[in-house]
Amino acid sequence: MVLNPVISKLSGKLVVLASSSPRRLEILRNAGLRFEVVPSWFKETLDKGLFKAPHEYAVETAKQKALEVARRMTIKHLKTPDVVIGADTIVTVNGMILEKPVDKQDAYRMLSSLSGKEHSVFTGVAIVLCHDKDNDEVDYQLIDFYEETKVKFAELSEDMLWEYINSGEPMDKAGGYGIQALGGMLVEYVHGDFLNVVGFPLNHFCKQLGVIYNHCSFFTPDTTETVNLSVSDSLSTSILSQQKESSKNIPRPKSPSSSPLHKVKKTSNKSEAKVSSLFEDDDRETISPMLRSKDGAMHDDRGPKKEDLELINKLIDGFKASKALFTASKYCLFDLLHTKPGLDAEQVSQEIKASVKGTETLLEACVSLGLIKTKDTTECPKPVFENTDLATRLLRSDANFSLHAYIQHCNDKIWPLFTHLESAVKEGTSQREKVKKFKEISQDSLCSSEEATLRFMHAMHSSAKIAATAVAAAFDLSKYKTACDVGGCTGAVSYELIKIHPELTVTVLDLPSVVEKSEPFQQHTEERVTFKSGDFLTDELPKADLYILVRILHDLTDEKLHILLRKISDACTPGCGLLLSEIFLDENRSGPSRGLLQALSMSEGKQRSAAEYSRLLKRHGFLTAQVKYTDNLLDAMLCIKA
């Protein structure tokens, strides 16, 4: 194997890949490297305009990924890795950097710009060498490089573009294509390292290891002057090397005098480092990959794959993560750290009136989930905590797009339902009555029905506000002048619709008890949204050109659903529109879906795919014009009355 000459140098060392890319994992595993995977939390939000050349951006991103993992493992995981590998791949054309597309339109833009042209694929790689010192500090040495490969696309027809985009392959790949899969059909030629385009320049990486562990004679650097850098030298110098070089040259590391020292204080003694991981494939395949049972059947004895165990562990621990978020939200932890950032665990415990041990455990769990972060200060020997950007934007109760109320709704109403999931599956019915009786017995329900309704409205408003922009902007609705938001609750979607469509006026129709309590949510300066009390199943619907159903149909029995659709159909003239927004299931119900999990609550209604909704609406005279998968909380469909 290619890495054999340096594998012995890495034996007994903890090697970590700061990436969850399946393509990088496969390339390095096939090369024989044994490593653990710790995905980086570094947010790839560097300003591309600050870099003179595209490869500098890729290299800097790779460096930040690797350093973040190296520091986090030292501080939070109580062990120091020996080697951390970070990488970032970008595609560039005409000086523009193309990363992963955000949606199908973005993928179309990227692939169109590559059609018939030669472009460059850069992968920046960073190798961080970590060394424990006697004073409980850690020294880091950073070696970075990049590789460039030229790729030429054929001229792509519209049909070819959309067929490839609709395959789903472009969505998680830099530049919107995967050369190792279907995307290979788009490519005329490749000049350079093919694996670099896949996601990792293996040959160049091996040469760099040969330079670091220079006693390995297998690799000879392309430069005429060999760099002598032994393992002991590299670790003792504690240099942070800023190496930028061409794809053909191996750089000379800078001298210690010109490189800054990089250290971090440890919070605990280093635990024993192990290269072999529970998740890694071992060498049993070469000895006895298959065992024969008593019945004569052959069974695979190679052990579970890492990705399989990661998935199962994620599912097993999912409820713990949810409850950690719910509890932090219940204690208004994110509000506290917004108003008073930089508190330590003891200070937080005093503020939320909880035990120091419990508070510290909750804080550390939230750090591991990426909800809050620690900040080391010279003034305070203890770690202090502050919100991440995610918590500031979504988890504060007063944030513009806060999910705080919805999270509390999930904790108070949805969580108890799912604790009775075994009974729900056995009986095929909702467990709401069982939960309600339990709360009455335990005196856990202290709020009035009016307060409960208001809490529910706050929850629905917070989630609807998140989805509203994507739903409102999904289609061109300029031909419609009047709309009726059926069951529109607080009007979150309606207010977003009139922002995007200035000629539209909307009537929000909901039950009298809901409209009465919607006052705090109404924007009284906006006259183009009005509220009307009524039951959409029994009362006459307001006349409109466009009827809006957001998260309504999935919760109705078949009987109620057809009553409502019949009423809307009767109120419509040919050309009227119906804007439907729901969670659209995959057609084969095999993909991950919040809708399928939500269906486990055993409500009266049913979760459906876009095709199922189309067939349902067609029975009432509506033809599907467009379907939009928004990558937000809700998808959307526009139908026209025939």
Give residue-wise pLDDT tens across range 288-346. 344 444 455 545 555 677 788 888 888 888 999 999 999 999 999 999 999 999 999 99
Quick one: which of 189, 203, 179, 184 has its CA closest to 23?
179
**Antiparallel, parallel or unpaired: β 482-486 and 15-17:** unpaired
**Model pTM score:** 0.50
Q: Cα-atom radius of gyration of the chain, to the nearest Å?
A: 29
Instruction: With H, G, I as helix, E, B as strand and everything else as coil, classify residue 639.
Output: strand
* Position 283 pLDDT exceeds 70: no
Tell me if 85 sits within 8 A of 125, measured CB to CB: yes
* Position 6 pLDDT exceeds 70: no
Q: Cα 374 from chain centroid?
A: 21
Give residue-wise pLDDT tens across range 350-372. 999 999 999 999 999 999 999 99
Give residue-wise pLDDT tens across range 496-524. 999 999 899 999 999 998 998 888 888 87
- Confidence class of residue 278 from pLDDT cuts 50, 70 and 90? very low
551: left (phi over 0), alpha (psi -120 to 50) or beta: left
Question: What does the pLDDT read at residue 291?
Answer: 46
Q: Write down the mean pLDDT value for the chain.
A: 80
* Position 249 pLDDT exceeds 60: no
Q: What tokens appear for 16 in the block? A: 């970590």
Tell me if 435 sits within 8 A of 444, measured CB to CB: no
Does domain 307-402 correspond to CATH entry 3.30.1490.20?
no
Instruction: With H, G, I as helix, E, B as strand and everything else as coil, classify residue 229.
Output: coil
- 3-state secondary structure string across 498-530: HHHCCCCEEEEEECHHHHHHCHHHCCCCCCCEE
List beta partners, residue 285.
none
| Residues contacting 197, CB < 8 A, separation 6+ | 121, 149, 151, 179, 190
Give residue-wise pLDDT tens across range 151-182. 999 888 888 889 888 888 888 788 888 888 88
Question: What does the pLDDT read at residue 568?
Answer: 96
- Choice among 17-26, 265-274, 499-508 with the minimum mean pLDDT: 265-274
Q: Where are the domains of the chain?
A: 4-265, 307-402, 470-641
End-to-end Cα separation, the chain, in angstroms: 65
Among candidate residues 82, 88, 335, 412, the one labeled active-site is: 88
Q: How far apart are CA 334 and CA 355, in angstroms?
A: 18
Pick the residue with more confidence: 104 or 377? 104
Pick the residue with more confidence: 35 or 330? 330
* Position 608 pLDDT exceeds 50: yes
- 3-state secondary structure string across 260-280: CCCEEECCCCCCCCCCCCCCC
Question: What does the pLDDT read at residue 214?
Answer: 63
Q: What tokens appear for 234 in the block? A: 């590299």
Q: How far is CA 499 from CA 495, 528, 529, 549, in A?
A: 7, 10, 11, 18
- Confidence class of residue 376 from pLDDT cuts 50, 70 and 90? low
- Confidence class of residue 439 from pLDDT cuts 50, 70 and 90? low
* Position 76 pLDDT exceeds 70: no
Question: What does the pLDDT read at residue 22?
Answer: 85
Q: Per 3-state DSSP, what percentage of the chain is helix, strand, and coil (rounded to 5)? A: 40, 20, 40
Using the structure block, give the residue that is written with the tokens 């790729």.
151
Pick the residue with more confidence: 600 or 623? 623
State the average pLDDT over residues 136-161.
Answer: 88
81-99 in b/e burial notation, b at 16+ Cβ within 10 A?
A: bbbbbbbbbbbbbeeebbb
**Antiparallel, parallel or unpaired: β 546-550 and 482-486:** parallel
Please name the fold of domain 470-641: Rossmann fold (3.40.50)
- Confidence class of residue 135 from pLDDT cuts 50, 70 and 90? low
Pick the residue with more confidence: 144 or 140? 144
Question: What does the pLDDT read at residue 548?
Answer: 97
Most confident of 236-245, 279-288, 457-466: 457-466
Give me the torsion for CA of 587, 590, 591, 595, rounded to 10°. Answer: 70
* Position 276 pLDDT exceeds 50: no
H helices of 340-431, in order, are 345-352, 356-368, 389-390, 404-409, 415-418, 421-427
Instruction: With H, G, I as helix, E, B as strand and everything else as coil, classify residue 415.
Output: helix
State the average pLDDT over residues 438-442.
Answer: 48
- Confidence class of residue 437 from pLDDT cuts 50, 70 and 90? low
- Confidence class of residue 450 from pLDDT cuts 50, 70 and 90? confident
- Amino acid identity of residue 185, one-letter, is M
* Position 246 pLDDT exceeds 70: no
Instruction: With H, G, I as helix, E, B as strand and everything else as coil, classify residue 378.
Output: coil
Instruction: Verify whether residue 106 is a known catalytic residue.
Output: no
CATH class, 4-265 region: alpha beta
* Position 540 pLDDT exceeds 70: yes
Instruction: With H, G, I as helix, E, B as strand and everything else as coil, classify residue 110.
Output: helix
- Choice among 23-27, 134-138, 175-179, 598-602 with the minimum mean pLDDT: 134-138
Quick one: which of 347, 342, 332 has its CA closest to 391?
332
Q: How far apart are CA 48 and CA 295, in angstroms?
A: 62
* Position 33 pLDDT exceeds 90: no
Question: What does the pLDDT read at residue 310?
Answer: 82
State the average pLDDT over residues 556-581.
Answer: 95
Question: What does the pLDDT read at residue 507?
Answer: 96
27-60 in b/e burial notation, b at 16+ Cβ within 10 A?
A: bbeebebbbbbbebebeeebeeeebeebbbbbbb
